[in-house]
């Protein structure tokens, strides 16, 4: 392990890989990343699976079998994706055991076309939980308004959840409330709270992409001076909100009953703007008790030249509030920004899901 990654781990950050593919699994690449680069978890999404299916021949045998069986395209997609998730979960099981179930986790997303539908999302979460059938899986549910009750219901049934597509501080607080309610109901239902794990995926780089574009349009020196600061400031304030909840009597009661914290997870950590340091969303978001899920390119950069220098969240709350206040003064409408980002996020994953369906349909016809 590189010294940079060691410092990151020593600071209390769990390193997860934001990627999965059959090729990565069958070549032993994931096992190598666990061994050599401190990877302790894996996240996936429809875009990642669409990319994996479009390259190489790793899925050919399974596709032929599915074609022979005459399964539907949607059933084939579920068979393919859950196969990869089960495999990754088995590779990560030693990490899961060594960390007493905190890490060693693998995430699979509900059909993004259901993001605005509560009951179908709940049914899909149950189906994925059953199909993968591994204790170290996370079911990813989007933090839409309709997704919040689905998060609560899944947790109440003992299903571990990765809440995804969180952009705003207000919505993040609603996510934490949904999580607490889910655990309270799980406790009432007789579930062992220690076995229910959850993370909250707070997106970072997309916030800068959207706000930077608006700052460019404003074009004033004051506006341009704020570029590249919103994503980190927003995430730091999310952690401040997390700390508030961790100090609440409501959480203390659940912790006494064996519950684990819903760790903040920094998602969308690949830097989109080449003018910014490529480890920006790693170096500037370090503190104990969080997860950073990185594309492999970002992971390699962090290993090679990351600048890990202690806690870069807690000492900077005031600075983060100042950044957000300056953005507001410059004319940036935060509420509109986060609404646009959520709508775009849902749409992008839905588009990727449709691409995945089309790819599998094409491959089944050829098989």
Indicate which residues carry an active-site annotation. Answer: 140
Measured CA to CA in angstroms, residue 281 lies from 205, 233, 242, 260 at distances of 8, 11, 18, 25
Residue 310: left if φ>0, alpha if ψ -120 to 50, beta else—which one? left
Please tell me the distance from the alpha carbon of residue 192 to that of residue 159, in angstroms, as a whole number.
Answer: 11
The tokens 């074009």 sit on which residue?
219
- The angle formed by the CA atoms of residues 232, 234 and 236, to the nearest 5 degrees, is 65
As a whole number of angstroms, the distance between CA 243 and CA 343 comes to 28
As a whole number of angstroms, the distance between CA 302 and CA 304 comes to: 5
In this structure, the dihedral spanned by the alpha carbons of residues 294, 157, 262 and 347, taken in order and rounded to 10 degrees, is: 40
Torsion angle of C-alpha atoms 54, 55, 61, 67, degrees rounded to 10: 20
The candidate with the shortest Cα–Cα distance to 291, out of 18, 2, 26, 4, is: 18
Rounded to 10°, the helix 334-366/317-330 angle is 100
Nearest Cα neighbor of 327 from 235, 256, 226, 237 is 226
* The token pair that represents 216 in the structure block: 């460019």
Q: Which residues contact 319 (CB under 8 A, 6 or more apart)?
A: 233
Helix axes 334-366, 73-98, angle to 10 degrees: 110
């Amino acid at each position: 392990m590189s010294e940079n990654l060691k410092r990151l781990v020593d600071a209390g950050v769990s390193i997860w890989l934001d990627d999965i593919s059959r090729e990565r699994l069958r070549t032993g690449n994931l096992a190598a990343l666990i061994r050599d680069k401190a990877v302790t978890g894996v996240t996936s999404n429809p875009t990642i699976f669409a990319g994996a299916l479009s390259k190489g021949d790793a899925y050919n045998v399974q596709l032929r079998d599915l074609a022979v069986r005459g399964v539907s395209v949607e059933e084939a997609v579920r068979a393919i994706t859950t196969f990869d998730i089960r495999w990754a979960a088995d590779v990560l099981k030693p990490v899961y055991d060594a960390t007493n179930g905190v890490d060693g986790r693998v995430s699979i997303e509900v059909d993004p076309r259901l993001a605005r539908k509560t009951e179908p999302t709940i049914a899909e979460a149950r189906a994925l939980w059953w199909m993968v059938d591994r204790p170290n899986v996370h079911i990813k549910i989007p933090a839409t308004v309709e997704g919040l009750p689905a998060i609560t219901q899944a947790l109440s049934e003992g299903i571990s959840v990765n809440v995804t597509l969180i952009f705003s501080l207000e919505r993040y607080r609603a996510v934490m409330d949904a999580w607490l309610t889910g655990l309270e109901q799980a406790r009432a239902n007789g579930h062992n709270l220690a076995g229910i794990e959850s993370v909250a995926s707070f997106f970072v780089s997309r916030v800068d992409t959207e706000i930077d574009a608006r700052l460019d349009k404003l074009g004033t020196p004051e506006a341009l001076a704020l570029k590249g600061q919103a994503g980190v400031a927003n995430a730091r304030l999310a952690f401040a909100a997390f700390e508030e909840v961790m100090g609440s009597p409501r959480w203390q009661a659940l912790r006494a009953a064996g519950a684990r914290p819903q760790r903040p997870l920094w998602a969308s950590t690949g830097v989109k703007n080449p003018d910014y340091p490529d480890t920006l969303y790693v170096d500037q978001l370090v503190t104990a008790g969080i997860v950073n899920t990185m594309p492999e390119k970002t992971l390699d950069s962090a290993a090679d030249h990351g600048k890990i220098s202690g806690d870069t969240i807690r000492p900077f709350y005031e600075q983060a509030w100042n950044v957000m206040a300056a953005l507001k003064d410059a004319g940036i409408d935060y509420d509109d920004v986060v609404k646009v980002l959520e709508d775009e996020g849902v749409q992008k994953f839905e588009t990727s899901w449709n691409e995945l369906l089309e790819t599998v349909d094409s491959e089944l016809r050829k098989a």
